[in-house]
Structure 1
Amino acid sequence: MTADRPLRADAARNRSALLAAAAEEFAARGPDASVAEIARRAGIGKGTVFRHFPTKDDLLAAVVLDRVDGLAGLAHELMSAADPGAALLEFMGSAAGHQRQLDLSFLREAAGINDRLDGERAELFAAITALVDRAKQAGAIRADITGMDVILLMCAPNHVVSFVPGAPPELWRRYLGIIFDGLRPEGAHPLPEPVSP
């Protein structure tokens, strides 16, 4: 039994390295990413990649699921935070920070790859909406903000910074602050109709 443990640990490390390498390659090249280059980045053979993931779409779906699961896990953890407004801000900051470290715009290409991905994304959206509802109940954000508003705004800080040549690495935090101030109830004006999920 103990002899098996190093193999399981090695397999877990290989999978982690493979997903990290795949995320970087997909972020750089989109769906046209090379499996051979992913294997090279991960330090494993191309055959090993296909043993774990029979197709490139399976690998892309695994990368997306890994990111979505991480964000959903964080959202669930923050549901028990004492300060719902600070919890929502922490979640939005973490989501923007992860996106800054690795451009995840390629995730849009992964929609509908498999049913599990659709289910996990729905779970993430529900968790974000629950964070938003807690923040509203605590009076930390305005009452007319929806979960979908926050979902759509999560990518905004990095999107804005992408238009600034040579932007400092932490500039996105400035725009997250501006966005979050716009969510607060102080000085709020009525909003047009909300977007549908």
Structure 2
Amino acid sequence: MTRADAVRNRRLLMDAATAEFAENGMDASITRIAARAGVAKGTVFRHFDTKEQLLSEIFSDRLEELVAAGERLADAADPGAALLEFMEIGTEIQARDRSFCQAAAALSRSEPGVRTSRERLADVAETLAARARRAGAIRDDVTGLDIVLLLSAASQAVLSLGREMPDLWRRYLALIFDGLTPRTATPLPEPAPTWEQFTG
């Protein structure tokens, strides 16, 4: 097999696995992924030692997709609108990918690729949140990590209705974002978690 063939097979596997995990969550099987990619099952394990390693790479790719969106929005003229767009992108990624929240809970936080992507996500979320705080678009006590943790809230709220109403998450994200604004803010009962607490 040439290097070009190996690169092509890896890309086919990544695309097939991404689609399979998105549709079936952690129940996705290596057999179905291989069939979807049009390769032998053994080809999967030549590229990835375990199913978890494959999922870890896909999860990191998803996080990097959101990081790239955040970096693009970091200099937007309207910081509040930029933060909301970032949250919309993050929520939509999770709404269309059933494995995202499962992977976040199941994968080891010490896995290097995942940890690096999570740190980059936390940084870009704090950049966007800080700009929105300074602009008065969100409460003074909302942190970037608050934003990261809230990204799954809207998609998880409508998990059972996702197939019938695929855009319903937008309703709940709007409610969440309204709660971030300072108009009727009252003191929060608990402090925001630290990054160290989040990564364990």
TM-score (norm: length of structure 2): 0.83
Change (3 A) 1:143 1:29: closer
RMSD across aligned positions (CA): 2.3
Q: What one-letter code is carried by the residue in structure 1 that aligns with 2:84?
A: L
Question: 1:193 — aligned with what?
Answer: 190
Question: 2:108 — aligned with what?
Answer: 111
The counterpart of 1:150, out of the listed 98, 122, 147, is 147
Bigger mean CA deviation after superposition, 163-172 or 153-162: 163-172
Deviation at 1:163?
A: 4.8
Deviation at 1:132?
A: 0.7
Q: What one-letter code is carried by the residue in structure 1 that aligns with 2:96?
A: Q
Q: Percent identity?
A: 45
Q: What one-letter code is carried by the residue in structure 2 that aligns with 1:142?
A: R
- Cα distance in structure 1, aligned partners of 2:162 and 2:59: 28
Listed one character per residue, the Cα deviations across residues 124-180 of structure 1 (whole Å, up to 9, x for unaligned) are 111111111111111111111111221111111111112558752211111111111
Change (3 A) 1:165 1:177: closer
Deviation at 1:84?
A: 1.0
- Cα distance in structure 2, aligned partners of 1:141 and 1:189: 13
Question: 1:72 — aligned with what?
Answer: 67
- Cα distance in structure 2, aligned partners of 1:99 and 1:165: 11
**Unmatched 5+ stretches in structure 1:** none
Deviation at 1:12?
A: 5.6
Deviation at 1:24?
A: 3.7
Contact residue 146 and residue 194 of structure 1 kept, 8 A = no
Deviation at 1:121?
A: 0.9
Change (3 A) 1:157 1:29: closer
Q: Does 1:91 align with 2:86?
A: yes
TM-score (norm: length of structure 1): 0.85
Secondary structure of 1:129's aligned partner: helix
- Cα distance in structure 2, aligned partners of 1:47 and 1:113: 27
Question: 1:138 — aligned with what?
Answer: 135
Bigger mean CA deviation after superposition, 132-141 or 44-53: 44-53
Aligned length: 190
Contact residue 21 and residue 97 of structure 2 kept, 8 A = no
- Cα distance in structure 2, aligned partners of 1:33 and 1:75: 29
**Unmatched 5+ stretches in structure 2:** 195-200
Q: Does 1:102 align with 2:97?
A: yes
- Cα distance in structure 2, aligned partners of 1:135 and 1:121: 21
Contact residue 25 and residue 97 of structure 2 kept, 8 A = no
Deviation at 1:102?
A: 1.5
Change (3 A) 1:78 1:165: closer
Contact residue 26 and residue 106 of structure 1 kept, 8 A = no
The counterpart of 1:43, out of the listed 10, 35, 38, is 38
- Cα distance in structure 2, aligned partners of 1:15 and 1:71: 22
